[in-house]
Amino acid sequence: MWLYASVTGDQEFMDRYGYELILDTARFWASRLENKNRQIHESVNEQGITEFTETVTEDGFFHICDVVGPDEYKEHKTDNAFTNYLAAWNIKKAIACCDLLKAERPGLYQELNEKLELERWYPEWIRKADRIYLPEPNENGVLPQDSTYLTLKEIDLSKYKAQDFVGGIFHDYNQTQINQIQVSKQADALALLFLFEDLFPREVKTATWDYYSERTIHDSSLSLCTHAALAADMRELEEAYRLFEKSTEIDLGPVMTTSDAGIHAASFGGIWQGAVYGFGGLRTLEGRLRIDPCLPEAWKKLTYEIIWHGQRLNVSVTHEQVRVKNLTKTEAVELELCKKIVWLEDEVTAELKK
């Protein structure tokens, strides 16, 4: 919702739907916070029956327990990094929205207060927001996917990473066993780095990328495109293009049965993101447009268009330079182009470093 509002400036949408969605989801996350660190342990007894045990400790933080994060191969986990950071962002954004509405839109605030009990939830958000447990990188700079991932058993995943079909790991392991080894179905901690690229320094992003890339087997159609975009960000262009190419083969590749139950429509959006967010270098950070592209060797040129605050922008990238044209020209656009702030009225260019 916030990204849409930042890109479009659609205030009517925010008034009718956006604020309410941000505030209501923040109520949900606040209700899921526990002031105890509750770990769920999964095992199989002698009869082959899965059993669950639980340990509880107190540490002064609020935790989110018993969740499945983006990685669907990890169940009943505590403090999934993606989930905790996004929940904290959601709650803090709700606080900011309340403050904004109270000051500038008291009538709308009162309508939402009657529907969502904001006067009850606001103090709870304030009390909990800065005490949500946010996993930190370890001594090697790796962000833990959840509270136990880095302690799990490691196995050789090369066979499963090389397979053209998905789910091959289930030929050798059941879900309980998969839950206890270092393997990810899809981007998880890396999806967090994709959404919040300025959250951690580059060395943490690199270490986290290296770690989870080795342990992700891409059994989801939404995984390769995220990895491809991050690889492009880090200028690992050969790997980025390999992952991007593989993402385009989900319904058009060597396994022609993948679309038997329907095409992977969401992954088409991911392919667009891999090209435009990855090689095209497009991002929006805190309401600011950023373009910092790079091209793989296989491409001579990449061109795409976006609409930013009502202005249609044409972006053209070669190996030598990037050119951005404002096709609408009714307003100047501020953007970060190749790490420099510029104002775009008609056309701007920047040279790309080799």
- Say whether both 122 and 10 belong to one domain: yes
Q: How many structural domains comprise the chain?
A: 2
Task: Decide if 103 is inside a domain.
Answer: yes
Q: What range does the domain containing 194 cover?
A: 2-220
Task: Decide if 323 is inside a domain.
Answer: yes
Q: Model pTM?
A: 0.91
Q: Give pLDDT tens digits along the chain (354 positions).
A: 999 999 999 999 999 999 999 999 999 999 999 998 888 777 778 877 888 888 888 788 999 999 999 999 999 999 999 999 999 999 999 999 999 999 999 999 999 999 999 999 999 999 999 999 999 999 999 999 999 999 999 999 999 999 888 899 999 999 999 999 999 999 999 999 999 988 999 999 999 999 999 999 999 988 999 999 999 999 999 999 999 999 998 888 777 777 788 888 888 999 999 999 999 999 998 789 999 999 999 999 999 999 999 999 999 999 999 999 999 999 999 999 999 999 999 999 999 986
- Say whether both 212 and 69 belong to one domain: yes
Task: Decide if 261 is inside a domain.
Answer: no
Any idea what the CATH number is for the domain that residue 304 is in? 2.60.420.10
Task: Decide if 244 is inside a domain.
Answer: no
Q: Catalytic: which of 42, 51, 54, 72? A: 72
Cβ-contact 257, 249 below 8 angstroms: no
Looking at 181, 199, 220, the residue that finishes a domain is 220
Residue 307's CB: how many other CB atoms inside 10 A?
Answer: 12
- Say whether both 314 and 187 belong to one domain: no
Cβ-contact 243, 287 below 8 angstroms: no
- Say whether both 147 and 33 belong to one domain: yes
Residue written as token pair 């976006």: 306
Single out the residue of 92, 89, 93, 87 nearest to residue 33, CA to CA. 87
- Our answer to whether residue 72 is catalytic in this structure is yes
